[in-house]
Amino acid sequence: MTDQLPLQIRSRRSHHKSRAGCQNCKKRRVKCDEKKPQCTKCVRHSIECDFASPASSASPDPTRRFRFRPSKYQSGSRTSSPSAHTEAASTSTSTAVQCDLAGSGLSGGISFADLKLYHHFVTSTYKTLADETMDRNRIWSHHVPHWGISFPSIMHLILALSALHQGHEDPASRTQSIAQADDHFTFGVRSVSAVLCLLNAENCQRIYMSAALICLVYFGRGPRRGEYLVFSDTGRSEWLVLLHGVHSILSQNRGRIFTGVLEPIPDDSIGGVSDELQVELDEHLQRIRHVQAYIMSHVMDETSRTIFDAAIKDLLSAFEEVYKIRSAGKDGICLMHLLIGWVYRLPMEMIALLEQKDRYALILFGYWSILLVYMRSSWLMQGWDAHVLHGVRTSLAEEDQTWLAWPIQVIGSTN
């Protein structure tokens, strides 16, 4: 119809841009619903909204006092006694010289329980993460704790690692420590995931260290039923996913990561294998070569043969390097790069064979588990050797069990 009115063009709904949102939402660059006394997003993320403290909107005073948040791990907060609850409420808020971590994303400050974990890390835990004589750049004692103040993923992850270490040293508090570690680990992983898309030259070292800390926390948490580092009862392993995260970060930024304070320092104390340990090493190498002959005589596919041959040669080299370091009187955490390095270099085809419970791949992985024995002096790695070997044994057919006789003997005799 010619007299029909033209269609109306929908105009954009008018809106009002508010600048009255809370400081937390502004820092995160998200829209604040401005609900008071606490906005919805702060409640959802369990952080203290500055709407609850109107004075916080004023210009920061460098001499102001800082209020610590009460922690759910404080014993007083768990009591059901009304009088005890009143007492806890009166003591859960304390003041100290300003030391809040507002710039780190730990909005609302740091609880007493978390402050205790931070102190434990900078006084004790860091010593267990590297050979102090070789940490000349003070990576763990200085730079990582300092980075944590401005990089929330690192802060959460060092607190998680500290909690696990504290639980290891004090078994009576292990349940509580694990609960703390799990909470911080969750926030740490989320934080890393959020910044991965922003990876650049300025933050690549911090993101890499966050990824490395995630792997360390995984080890420190202890073996998990059905998870055997490279494979699991259901196929893909959780730790391998984490390791691949490290791999993806390194593949694009290796040159920018391993520079400055993270530049590797050669250890001049490492020489050859001592005469005493050479006999032991030769026994290992002979057993692995025996397995090598067995695998290469049964694997007919040329591509698979190449993959197995490279992995076996790399394992032989790893054993030799481990024994050089052991000959210098070092073990435990000093061997981490060699053990993880072998898994790190495995091609995806070999990983797939392990996930599929391929008999030859499992036997080879069983021999790699021997190296975990020499990491027992590190609290992070205790129990992993027997656990990984158990996973290999339960995944291997009965007729192939004889090929694990040597790993079983080594790991069993050193328990």
C-alpha–C-alpha distance, residues 109 and 192, integer Å: 20
Structure tokens, 188:
């740490």
Share of the chain above pLDDT 70, in %: 79
Structure confidence by residue, pLDDT tens digits, 171-202: 999 999 999 999 999 988 888 888 888 888 88
Can you give the pLDDT at residue 25?
81
Angle subtended at Cα 282 by Cα 281 and Cα 288, rounded to the nearest 5 degrees: 90
Least confident of 88-102, 145-159, 197-211, 232-246: 88-102
Distance of CA 197 to the CA centre of its chain: 19
Higher-pLDDT residue of 170, 94? 170
pLDDT in tens, 336-390: 999 999 999 999 999 999 999 999 999 999 999 999 999 999 999 999 999 999 9
Q: What is the pLDDT of residue 342?
A: 95
Average pLDDT over residues 65-94: 38
Half-sphere exposure of 62 (CA within 13 A, CB side): 0
Q: Please give the pLDDT value at position 14.
A: 52
Share of the chain above pLDDT 90, in %: 57
Asked whether residue 87 carries a pLDDT value surpassing 60, the answer given is no
Q: How confident is the model at residue 38 (pLDDT cuts 50, 70, 90)?
A: confident
Residue 280 contacts residue 273 (beta carbons within 8 Å): no
Specify the amino acid at residue 355: E
3-state secondary structure of 396: coil
Residue burial 280-318, b: 16+ Cβ < 10 Å; e: rest: ebeebeebbeebbeebeeebeeeebeebbeebbeebbeb
| Type of residue numbered 58 | A
Query: Helix (H, G, I), strand (E, B), or coil: what is residue 115?
Result: helix
Question: In the predicted model, what is the mean pLDDT of the chain?
Answer: 82
pLDDT at residue 119 in the model: 96
With cut-offs at 50, 70 and 90, classify the pLDDT of residue 7: very low
Full DSSP string of 278-347: HHHHHHHHHHHHHHHHHHHHH---HHHHHHHHHHHHHHHHHHHHHHHHHHTT--GGGGHHHHHHHHHT--
In this predicted structure, what is the pLDDT of residue 311? 97
In degrees and rounded to multiples of 5, residue 401 shows phi and psi of: -60, -30
- pLDDT score for 220: 95
Distance CA(150)–CA(297), nearest Å, equals 56
Q: How confident is the model at residue 112 (pLDDT cuts 50, 70, 90)?
A: confident
pLDDT of residue 244: 81
Query: pLDDT by residue (tens digit) across 53-75?
Result: 544 444 444 333 333 344 444 34
Using the 8-state DSSP alphabet, how is residue 171 labeled? G
Task: Quote the pTM value.
Answer: 0.74
Average pLDDT value for residue range 208-236:
91
Peptide bond into 37 cis (omega under 30): yes
Of the listed ranges 19-28, 268-277, 286-295, the least confidently predicted one is: 19-28
Contact, 295 vs 363, CB < 8 A?
yes
Confidence band for 98, pLDDT divided at 50, 70 and 90: very low
Selection from 243, 247, 267, 222 nearest residue 130 by Cα: 267
